[in-house]
Structure 1
Amino acid sequence: MTWHVSEEDLRAYAQGELAPPVLWSADAHLTACAPCRAALAEVSDPVALDAGWERLDAELDAPRPGLFESLLVRLGVADHTARLLAATPVLRGSWLGAVIAVLVLSVVAGNVARTAETPTLFLALAPLLPLAGVALSYGPALDPTYEMAVVSPTHGFRLLMIRTVAVLVAGLGLNGLATLALPGYGLRALAWLLPALALTATGLALTARLGPVLAPSLVGGAWIALMLAAQAAHPAGGEPLAPFTAAGQGVAAAVAALAAGLLFAVRDRFDRSGPFGRSGPFGRFRGSAV
């Protein structure tokens, strides 16, 4: 080894004053050079030396931001918020691919078997996708990035809203693109939007009391039961099912508004002790978060 860290740089390293890129070169060199480590020990105290190695460990362990995260930061989103958004599980390729597959199949079915005034299968499935996406975006049982989300400097309710907005933008966007593939139905193909908002808002509002798994499961089950009951009331087809009529859309809008109000009223439950144990629905006490 023909190059060694100078004594001046070793002293600066020991005092925590050595700046990149010389710092990185010194870190890399010291891992392989016993003489330089011995020289470093002579000019530093143990506390300063430990701090230097801790800096090296932090640098090596720091995750590299992806393209989406880097773009959010460039747009002015805070670093920790951008990381939470980029790490949202349902924004990964597997979830988006599954959603696209479901939408494609329902759109094909709506265009091929056009026996009713509305694409019933598409309208029944589309509201469930945002609900499922939001449910999979938080909570220790479903979110693989849960620990990172827990230690983020963000209140529980704000974290929930960040993840929800990310999911809704992706889910509603894909639903909207699928709607464009059903031009023959006109505006009737948009009848999924209000039910989707109603289901998502209701699931979020009930999460504060029932948890991030049971609440959306019950809401999704109730929607499926409603669709089955509506189908049984019109077995011959030919007319829109009750949830997709003008009256049904009005009810969905009212439910969405009421659920949003309830969610706002119980927002503090996401930051303090509650029926989820000592830590609220996110698994730990977040009252001191900034």
Structure 2
Amino acid sequence: MTQRERRLWHASDDLVARYAQGDLPEPDAWSLEKHVEDCAGCASRVSVAVRGTAAGAVLAQVRAAVLESAPTPAVSSTPTASRAPVASPAPVGRPAPAGRPALSRLARLLWAAGPAVRGAWLPAVLTVAVAALALSYLAGFAGARALLLVVAPVVPVAGVALSYGPHADPLHEVAAATPGGGLRLALTRTVAVLAVSVPLLTLAGLLLPASGAPAAAAWLLPGLTLALASLALASFVGCRVAAGVTGGGWLCAVLSPVVVAPGAAVTARLSEQLSRCLDGTATQAAWAAAAAVSAALLALRSPAYDRPLRP
């Protein structure tokens, strides 16, 4: 048995029997059908169970009729070639059949990424990056990098909130019951959000003048931590509330000292507060520890993703 097969769950005898009799609820039936695509053992058991029902007998008759009506392939009259068809159904070296599984996997991946890579998400991230560059080079705002570093950790949190849950996916209740759904689907969309956000926002930060702000990549670990914390908290209160708590908490922690600063010192105070929150080995180590705690909590709460989350 391969490592992939060991990771798969296996259908119980009762589940297989109920599926064959047509008594299994639709989400459970879909989950089983998705599972047997990758598990030959369970597929064989389901096939045997279905063949033993009245529907199985009808299917066997239909199959026999189709095979009888199918044309017999022409064969060569020479004794040495009488065992094989003259025309090979798939010429040697043609890569098309091998490409179909790859295209199928790509299609499933794009479906899983879902709202994280389609719609207004990519334009929104581009707008944030372009706006920061415009503030710096067109409006002459010296604190453009600092402002970008304030917003950047919240962007993945917003992406997670917008890409998973009943508000984002009409098939959320069904997808949560499938082997490819639940936490696996949420993590797939989170990775898609990070794959879009991280390069664009980090590149924009590198193009902006430092002006006393932390490094352009200093937000990466906090952004990952906030995304993991949002996923863990979403198992209790739903994605949108979790994003509001984590993203709002970050903005309050960074901006609260700036609100009381004099007008001329806002940029300097913002850079100082960002340095406290992002700069230094100890600070980054604290963010790493928080990310590990969030990941552990998410692993413990993973069964909550096997059912639909709150709106």
Asked whether the two chains share a fold, i.e. TM above 0.5, the reply is: yes
Letter of the structure 1 residue corresponding to residue 200 of structure 2: L
Aligned equivalents of 2:201 and 2:170: distance in 1?
25
How do residues 88-167 of structure 1 correspond to structure 2 at under 5 angstroms?
88-111=114-137, 113=140, 115=142, 119-144=145-170, 146=172, 149-150=175-176, 152-167=178-193
Letter of the structure 2 residue corresponding to residue 257 of structure 1: A
Which deviations, in whole Å up to 9, do the C-alpha atoms of 1:87-130 show, x marking residues without a partner? Answer: x11311421011101121123324554545x8211001111111
The correspondence for 2:197, drawn from 171, 176, 183, is 171
CA RMSD of aligned residues (A): 3.4
Give the equivalent residue in structure 2 for 1:244.
278
Q: CA deviation at 1:16?
A: 4.7
Give the equivalent residue in structure 1 for 2:294.
259
Q: Tell me, what secondary structure is at the counterpart of 1:188?
A: coil
Q: CA deviation at 1:267?
A: 1.4
Q: Which runs of 5+ in 1 are unaligned?
A: 1-11, 20-70, 272-278, 284-290
Measured at CA, do residues 148 and 269 of structure 1 come closer, stay the same or move farther in structure 2, by a change above 3 Å? Answer: closer
Q: Contact (CA 8 Å) 2:230, 2:243: kept in 1 or not?
A: yes
Q: Contact (CA 8 Å) 1:139, 1:281: kept in 2 or not?
A: yes
How do residues 74-93 of structure 1 correspond to structure 2 at under 5 angstroms?
74=102, 77=105, 80-85=108-113, 88-93=114-119
Measured at CA, do residues 257 and 138 of structure 1 come closer, stay the same or move farther in structure 2, by a change above 3 Å? Answer: same
Give the equivalent residue in structure 1 for 2:207.
181
The correspondence for 1:220, drawn from 229, 247, 254, is 247
Aligned equivalents of 2:130 and 2:100: distance in 1?
29
The correspondence for 2:234, drawn from 191, 207, 230, is 207
Q: CA deviation at 1:138?
A: 1.2
2:224 paired with 1:197:
yes
Aligned equivalents of 2:227 and 2:129: distance in 1?
18
Measured at CA, do residues 110 and 223 of structure 1 come closer, stay the same or move farther in structure 2, by a change above 3 Å? Answer: farther
Measured at CA, do residues 142 and 175 of structure 1 come closer, stay the same or move farther in structure 2, by a change above 3 Å? Answer: same
Letter of the structure 2 residue corresponding to residue 191 of structure 1: A
Identical aligned residues as a percent:
36
Letter of the structure 2 residue corresponding to residue 96 of structure 1: L
Give the equivalent residue in structure 1 for 2:309.
281
Aligned equivalents of 1:150 and 1:270: distance in 2?
7
Aligned equivalents of 1:208 and 1:245: distance in 2?
31
Give the equivalent residue in structure 2 for 1:57.
none
Measured at CA, do residues 76 and 265 of structure 1 come closer, stay the same or move farther in structure 2, by a change above 3 Å? Answer: same
Q: CA deviation at 1:15?
A: 4.0
Q: Contact (CA 8 Å) 1:110, 1:121: kept in 2 or not?
A: no
Measured at CA, do residues 250 and 231 of structure 1 come closer, stay the same or move farther in structure 2, by a change above 3 Å? Answer: farther
Which deviations, in whole Å up to 9, do the C-alpha atoms of 1:196-240 show, x marking residues without a partner? Answer: 111101101101111122111111111111121242476524343
Measured at CA, do residues 243 and 107 of structure 1 come closer, stay the same or move farther in structure 2, by a change above 3 Å? Answer: farther
Aligned equivalents of 2:120 and 2:238: distance in 1?
25
Q: Contact (CA 8 Å) 1:123, 1:189: kept in 2 or not?
A: yes
Aligned equivalents of 2:252 and 2:223: distance in 1?
15
Q: Contact (CA 8 Å) 1:84, 1:149: kept in 2 or not?
A: no
Q: Contact (CA 8 Å) 2:237, 2:310: kept in 1 or not?
A: no
Q: CA deviation at 1:80?
A: 3.8
Aligned equivalents of 1:197 and 1:84: distance in 2?
20
Q: Which runs of 5+ in 2 are unaligned?
A: 1-61, 71-98
Equivalent pairs, count: 212
